[in-house]
């Protein structure tokens, strides 16, 4: 299905990325889908990119493919399981030991609509634990490296599903009831709440967000796989909102998504945040609860 609603003058493509030479970037979940193409294009633009992947075999395969497609670029594979806080701590400890600045952090990895409620090794509901808490802890622990950058950027990759999400502080772990997409939506709304609070609490970080619309990837293996194959766009196109968020001249709080088909397809543009992100008190309460759950205190 081809999108014809964007005239050429309005299109934002990889040609708009610009030179990223000298920058260090981390992209989580970069072994496939939009994460792979986000890492690929940042590398092509000159950034040194760490692809942070949970599975060594799949990560190694992705690394080889990245090196084939962009032989002049610098890619590095590091293992990171966002559903395991010990893995997050080991990953960040290694990066901080390098004393390298971190210019771009793309919190991309995620899981969606697990049929049954599952737990992480730390006892969190798996979607919330991976999509939100894992990235919350990762960003907090990498804060010293972000501080070394002249212009640090954190991109939170959310979902169109965040629009119908609801953050319930007394049911963050879906203990009272579990509905796969409801739980997923809450985790993706939490990504946006985190993005806004990060920018508010740390104004020296450009904290922005993106969502890929309907993009064909492994994410839909439990839900909407057939529908996405019909209406969805391919991963290189789906990565464009994340890429624009990573490099655009913008301010914290900006949200990028596809332009067309109810923000499901097309060129990436700035879009409005869901109305439920406007509750600053709730966003801060989620932040404080996330610090308590993960044991990661940003100000410590």
Local structure of 270: helix, strand or coil: strand
C-alpha distance across the termini of the chain, in Å: 50
Q: Given the residues 95, 178, 184, 256, select the one marked as catalytic.
A: 184
Q: How far apart are CA 111 and CA 129, in angstroms?
A: 10
Which residues, including other chains, have CB under 8 Å from residue 200's CB and lie 6 or more apart? 252, 280
Which residues, including other chains, have CB under 8 Å from residue 300's CB and lie 6 or more apart? none
The values of phi and psi at residue 63, to 5°, are: -60, -45
Instruction: Count CA within 13 A, CB hemisphere, residue 172.
Output: 22
Partners of 155 in the beta sheet?
Answer: 106, 208
Active site residue 178: no
Which residues, including other chains, have CB under 8 Å from residue 179's CB and lie 6 or more apart? none
Q: Which residues are catalytic?
A: 184
């Amino acid at each position: 299905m081809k999108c014809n609603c964007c005239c050429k003058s309005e299109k934002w493509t990889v040609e708009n990325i610009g030179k990223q030479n000298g920058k260090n970037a981390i992209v989580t979940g970069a072994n496939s889908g939009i994460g792979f193409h986000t890492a690929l294009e940042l590398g092509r633009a000159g950034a040194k990119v760490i692809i942070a992947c949970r599975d060594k075999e799949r990560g190694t395969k992705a690394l080889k493919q990245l090196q084939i497609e962009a032989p002049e670029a610098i890619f590095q594979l590091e293992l990171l399981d966002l559903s395991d806080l010990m893995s997050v701590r080991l990953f960040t400890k290694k990066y901080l030991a390098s004393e390298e600045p971190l210019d771009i952090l793309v919190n991309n990895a995620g899981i969606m609509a697990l049929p049954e409620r599952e737990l992480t090794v730390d006892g969190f509901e798996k979607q919330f634990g991976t999509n939100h808490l894992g990235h919350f802890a990762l960003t907090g622990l990498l804060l010293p490296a972000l501080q070394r950058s002249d212009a640090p950027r954190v991109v939170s990759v959310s979902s169109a599903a965040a629009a119908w999400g609801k953050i319930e502080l007394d049911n963050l772990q879906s203990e009272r009831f579990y509905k796969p997409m409801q739980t997923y939506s809450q985790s993706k709304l939490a990504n946006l709440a985190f993005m806004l609070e990060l920018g508010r609490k740390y104004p020296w970080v450009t904290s922005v967000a993106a969502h890929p619309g309907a993009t064909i990837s492994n994410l839909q293996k439990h839900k909407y796989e057939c529908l996405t194959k019909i209406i969805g766009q391919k991963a290189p196109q789906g990565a464009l909102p994340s890429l624009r968020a990573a490099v655009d001249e913008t301010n914290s709080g900006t949200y990028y998504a596809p332009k067309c088909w109810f923000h499901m397809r097309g060129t990436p543009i700035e879009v409005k945040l869901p109305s439920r992100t406007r509750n600053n008190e709730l966003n801060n309460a989620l932040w404080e609860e996330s610090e308590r759950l993960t044991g990661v205190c940003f100000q410590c």
